[in-house]
Structure 1
Amino acid sequence: MLLATVTPLASILGSGLLIIVPVLERTLGGLSVLGAVAVCAVAWVVGTAIRHCIRVVEPLENSGDLDRTTARLGRLGDAVIVVAYVISVALYLRIMAEYVTGFVGSGGTGVEKVIACSAVALIIGIGVTRGFAGLDLLDRVSLGAVLILTMVLGATLLVHDGGQLLGDGLSLPPVPDLGIGQIMLVLGGIVITVQGFETVRYLGDEYDAQTRIRASRLAQGTATVLYIAFVVVATPVMGLGTSAGPDETLLDITDRVAPFLALPLVLSAVLSQFSAAIADTAAADGNFRSLSSWMTGARPYLLSGTAAILLAATVPTFTIVAVASRAFAAYYAIQALIALRTSRGAGPRIGYGVLMALMIAITLLAETAG
């Protein structure tokens, strides 16, 4: 089960660990942890719908007993998630490139695009020549390094916070003057930060249903603890309300608190984004193969890689964030509807109906921060 957890956990951490703190800082300030809890809670509910589909819907599909309408919804969802994965791969590698150029202090958008496109080409090359086994091995190495570097950074912030607490006391940033409606729209717009748990849905050729369900739970639980803990220790050192001003990236925080961690943070950024891109590439490959019998051999990798390179080379990063968040929300809405149609009892049906409505709202109305 631990090996099956690598892909979803890598995708989740790569999706949001680098951007969730600056986004919540600008949205909730000193109450950022509430935003982290809310986003993770919604993600867990969506994960419940995904796991229902693995447990209930997949056997019906395999036996041919799934009704035609639900089957068509499933095909629609598969098509939507392929688009979302391709967009997310381009996004992760653009973020990775931004951290690299930001650290060295040179380059610009053109260099970022070259780095991102080269990384996509590398991942696709490994997928074509080594398949899932090659990607999974690379993913495990990257994820292990990311977890170590994240713990080091988190521990450093914790020690800093402890020193402040024992000294003059902790000073939390102010809460921005935003309406509840705007806050909800921004939180909805960062669905991408918790995306990744659904990758197990498309790893059926490698792992059985129970293994994938447990892996999804473990990945979400681990990511939830890391996200909330990281936001807690980062909140007291946010620049909002100080002369430093609100932080654009985590590099701003490390430059103030622990400059010696700038390089480890950039390494973590590179590895986490690369790892997440690998995870979503593997999931997109499995999804492509389930959509069409024509999608065999290297074709899924080449198709998704070409599309990701075009996006990374032509579309601004914040635009990719907006489109990716909406695409994943649309997919989650479809999965909630499928879960509603295949559930028994009023309670689950009402719950999945509310979830579907929320995801539709995010698809239509979500705002991006930045």
Structure 2
Amino acid sequence: MPRLSGVVRASVTPLASILGSGLLIIVPVLERTLGSLSVFGAALVCGVAWVVGTSVRHCVRVVEPAQASGSLDRVNARLDQAGDAVIVVAYVISVALYLRIMAQYVVDYSDPGGSALWERVVACAAVALIVVVGITRGFAGLNLLDRFSLGVVLVLTTVLGGTLLLHDVHGQFGAGLVLPPVPDIGIGEILLVLGGIVITVQGFETVQYLGDHYDAETRVWASRFAQLVAASIYLGFVAVATPVMGLGTPAGPDVTLLDITARVAPWLALPLVLSAVLSQFSAAVADTVAAEGNLRGLSRFMRGPTPYLVSGGAAILLAATTPTLTIVAVASRAFAAYYAIQAVLAMRTSTGRTRKAGYGALAVLMAAVTLFAQSAG
């Protein structure tokens, strides 16, 4: 195992990306889909993400060195290039998504029911800021932003989760916990919705594009570490938030976590908004770093500030023109397509029938999500 300090440093980008991907949206989506069984939905999504992560880590260890040495066969090389192209599109979409979610929390807090135009303006301004920092300070500057934002997010998430836990404990020993009902939705629709929130666990694959900064083994362990930490946070947060869901009450299903905090502890609204701003911003930074590294590998013309300008310009266009929930569904499909390609690569380069069959089944699953995933709205 590589040095722990190196693993922790390398995990900043994937962990920031994973937490920013879903911490703010997974609770309301699972509430409307599974109600009191939300934690099982979170566990299923995190479990699938871990399996997908094994294929990504296999590619870091096996495909990446073969590509660098020129020993990768033509079909696998083409698959690898196709994956690189797909993931760039996915990252651009995800950057637009994160900053639209961030803008939604800022606008809702400062002006409840405010104009959607301001959400787009705030999101586009945030993209522009990230591009400027990337061009002027490069990876070091963006990584510093990521480390600061992630640290604050972890503190604020602990405060939010702890407050919800205290509320649950008080309810259990008082009037008793009242869990939300399980919506009358078929298993097929539930699976389609869960497939549509693949974006909520995206981020562990960003280690593939940090090869200029960390060796392969450090990146593999960083990916594992980030996934385990993020999964524990997701499961714990969903568990303590479930008893406070508005589903089945006069409040109705929650649209954002602000709805829950307004009922439980209004003073949590500002910390939640700060967490929203920093988590989404840090996730956008993480995926901008990954997109920039990927674009440089795709074309010799992607040098200097060009990768930041290309990815940033496309993200601004999306953030300015596309509804948030539409971006969620499209981003999930884009990442699922990339994960399907990674699974095929892992299947073709692995040894043993069991491994090949497992990666093949994973490829089929991710292809199904790409084709049939349903919007969470």
Q: Does residue 262 in structure 1 map to residue 269 in structure 2?
A: yes
Q: Does residue 30 in structure 1 map to residue 62 in structure 2?
A: no
Structure 2 counterpart of 1:60: 66
Write the distance in 2 (CA, Å) between the matches of 1:316 and 1:35.
25
Q: Does residue 69 in structure 1 map to residue 100 in structure 2?
A: no
Q: Does residue 18 in structure 1 map to residue 24 in structure 2?
A: yes
Q: Does residue 299 in structure 1 map to residue 306 in structure 2?
A: yes
Q: Select the residue among 110, 120, 138 that pairs with 2:127.
A: 120
| Aligned counterparts, 1:127-166, within 5 A | 127-166=134-173
- Per the normalisation by structure 2, the TM-score is 0.97
Aligned-partner SS, 2:11: helix
Write the distance in 2 (CA, Å) between the matches of 1:153 and 1:232.
13
| Aligned counterparts, 1:67-106, within 5 A | 67-105=73-111
Structure 2 counterpart of 1:227: 234
TM-aligned CA deviation for residue 307 of structure 1: 0.5
Q: Deviations over 1:180-203 (max 9, x none)?
A: 000000000000000000000111
Structure 2 counterpart of 1:200: 207
Write the distance in 2 (CA, Å) between the matches of 1:262 and 1:287.
37
Q: What residue ranges of structure 1 are gaps of 5+ in the alignment? A: none
TM-aligned CA deviation for residue 319 of structure 1: 1.3
Counterpart residue type for residue 43 of structure 1: A
Write the distance in 1 (CA, Å) between the matches of 2:376 and 2:124.
25
Q: Does residue 216 in structure 1 map to residue 223 in structure 2?
A: yes
Write the distance in 2 (CA, Å) between the matches of 1:221 and 1:322.
24
Write the distance in 1 (CA, Å) between the matches of 2:132 and 2:202.
24
Write the distance in 2 (CA, Å) between the matches of 1:134 and 1:152.
28
Write the distance in 2 (CA, Å) between the matches of 1:170 and 1:348.
44
Structure 1 counterpart of 2:118: 111
Counterpart residue type for residue 57 of structure 2: R
Write the distance in 2 (CA, Å) between the matches of 1:78 and 1:291.
7
Counterpart residue type for residue 205 of structure 1: D
| Aligned counterparts, 1:330-349, within 5 A | 330-349=337-356
Q: Does residue 318 in structure 1 map to residue 298 in structure 2?
A: no
Q: Select the residue among 243, 252, 258 that pairs with 1:236.
A: 243
Counterpart residue type for residue 72 of structure 1: R
Counterpart residue type for residue 336 of structure 1: A
CA contact (8 A) 2:17 2:203 kept: yes
Write the distance in 2 (CA, Å) between the matches of 1:314 and 1:245.
29
Q: Which has the larger displacement, 26-35 or 166-175?
A: 166-175
- Per the normalisation by structure 1, the TM-score is 0.99
Write the distance in 1 (CA, Å) between the matches of 2:342 and 2:12.
23
Structure 2 counterpart of 1:50: 56
TM-aligned CA deviation for residue 237 of structure 1: 0.5
Structure 2 counterpart of 1:368: 375
Q: CA RMSD in A?
A: 0.6
Counterpart residue type for residue 9 of structure 1: L
TM-aligned CA deviation for residue 303 of structure 1: 0.6
TM-aligned CA deviation for residue 318 of structure 1: 1.4
Write the distance in 1 (CA, Å) between the matches of 2:250 and 2:323.
29
TM-aligned CA deviation for residue 27 of structure 1: 0.3
Write the distance in 2 (CA, Å) between the matches of 1:191 and 1:222.
17
Matched pairs, number: 370
Write the distance in 1 (CA, Å) between the matches of 2:327 and 2:26.
16
Aligned-partner SS, 1:240: coil
Counterpart residue type for residue 215 of structure 2: D
Q: What residue ranges of structure 2 are gaps of 5+ in the alignment? A: 1-6
Aligned-partner SS, 1:43: helix
TM-aligned CA deviation for residue 169 of structure 1: 1.5
TM-aligned CA deviation for residue 99 of structure 1: 0.4
Structure 2 counterpart of 1:251: 258
Q: Deviations over 1:290-348 (max 9, x none)?
A: 11111111110011011111111111111111110100000000000000000000111
TM-aligned CA deviation for residue 369 of structure 1: 1.2
Write the distance in 2 (CA, Å) between the matches of 1:167 and 1:316.
42
Q: Does residue 352 in structure 1 map to residue 359 in structure 2?
A: yes
TM-aligned CA deviation for residue 71 of structure 1: 0.4
Counterpart residue type for residue 311 of structure 2: S
Aligned-partner SS, 1:31: helix
Q: Deviations over 1:191-236 (max 9, x none)?
A: 0000000000111011110110010000000000000000000000
Structure 2 counterpart of 1:7: 13
Write the distance in 2 (CA, Å) between the matches of 1:73 and 1:233.
42
